[in-house]
Amino acid sequence: MRLTIDHRTIYRFSAPQGRLTQMLRLTPEDTHDQAVASWHLHVDCDARMRPGRDGFGNRVTMLYVEGPIDQIEISVAGEVLTNASNGIVHGAHEPLPPMLFLRSTALTEGGATLAEFAADVAGPICDTIERMHAFNDALHRKFGLDRGRPVSGRTAAEAFEMSDVTPRDLAHMFVAGARRLGVPARYVSGYSPVCFEGDARPAPHGWAEAHVQGLGWVAFDPCTGLSADEAYARVAVALDSAGAAPVAGSRLGEGDEELDVDLHVAQANPQD
């Protein structure tokens, strides 16, 4: 499958900023399951950009802008070719041991209620992959989808008390529950037309991966209740969404900032 992606992020500041330093996790890389056919990153002002990797092995671009600056637009566009893999991740850059991803964070604190839910759904099942599929499907069935912008700082425990949640919330809940079941799990950010088919998205998509002995990392998306398939372009992984954020950094200056995101993802067969 060919995924066409156009992602624009605009920051507006109420007062000119003296300096911006941003880490951009916006560039997918080749694995056995995806190949980047084309990819362009553009910033609408004078800036220095330096490629590298973060602590999780994600491909990043460090962005440095000297002010004064009152607005910046960061855009990426390109095409990614993907193959069906039954959700199993092959050939990704993996600098860290899976057991690290049993570590909880503030965003993936699930609380007692979510832990009990995970145990009730998956506890009676012995096979790990079947347990993860059952838990993924149960989360999908339990919640309605909130198509709005993800709420910064909302924890898995807080999301579990709601009726409608965002894809980010669902991924955090899956990660939290899997870890409570003793299965390493991590947050994944990337691009997919699922859940928002035909619509602009308020943020890149988020799903999860669980490490299954004998298979490796396997992708699960509670937004659909299924494993992530060839309709997903994988960009970054981390313990939670904050560690895989597409844009993160700091600014030197007073005032507030306003964020606008315009994201479109389309799919087509490779021969089209």
Mean pLDDT estimate for the chain: 94
Q: How far apart are CA 159 and CA 111, in angstroms?
A: 11
Residue 139 has pLDDT above 60, yes or no: yes
The one-letter amino acid code at 103 reads R
Phi, psi of 131 (to 5 degrees): -65, -45
Could you tell me which residues are beta bridge partners of residue 39?
78
End-to-end, the C-alpha distance of the chain in Å comes to: 10
Phi, psi of 4 (to 5 degrees): -105, 125
| Extents of the domains making up the chain | 2-81+246-268, 85-238
At 270 the pLDDT is 47
Q: 84 vs 136, 198, 227, 229, 244, CA distance in Å? A: 19, 22, 11, 6, 24
Residue 196 has pLDDT above 90, yes or no: no
CATH of 2-81+246-268, one of 2.60.40.2250, 1.20.59.20, 1.10.800.10, 2.40.50.140: 2.60.40.2250
| Nearest CA-CA partner of 70 in 264, 261, 270, 256 | 256
* Collapsed DSSP state (helix, strand, coil) of residue 77: strand
Asked if the domains 2-81+246-268 and 85-238 are classified in one and the same CATH topology, the answer is: no
> For residue 84, what are its two tokens?
């069906």
At 200 the pLDDT is 74
CATH of 85-238, one of 3.10.620.30, 3.40.50.720, 3.40.50.300, 2.40.30.10: 3.10.620.30
pLDDT of 74-123, one tens digit each? 999 999 999 999 999 999 999 999 999 999 999 999 999 999 999 999 98
Residue 57 has pLDDT above 50, yes or no: yes
Instruction: Count CB-CB contacts under 10 A for residue 160.
Output: 22
CB 164 within 8 A of CB 195: no
Q: How far apart are CA 245 and CA 41, in angstroms?
A: 16
190 membership: H or E segment, kind and range: strand 185-191
Is beta strand 144-145 parallel, antiparallel or unpaired with respect to 164-165?
parallel
> For residue 179, what are its two tokens?
């870890």
CB 207 within 8 A of CB 188: yes
Residue 272 has pLDDT above 60, yes or no: no
pLDDT of 212-268, one tens digit each? 999 999 999 999 999 999 999 999 999 999 999 999 999 999 999 999 999 999 987
At 267 the pLDDT is 84
User: What interhelical angle do 111-122 and 167-180 show, nearest 10?
Assistant: 70
Q: Looking up tokens 């699930």, which residue turns up?
A: 110
Q: Dihedral angle at the C-alpha atoms of 256, 45, 37, 201, nearest 10 degrees?
A: 30
Task: State CA 27 to chain mean position distance.
Answer: 12
pTM: 0.95
DSSP tag of 89: -
Q: How far apart are CA 52 and CA 72, in angstroms?
A: 22
Q: Predicted confidence band at 269 (pLDDT cuts at 50, 70, 90)?
A: low
DSSP tag of 106: S
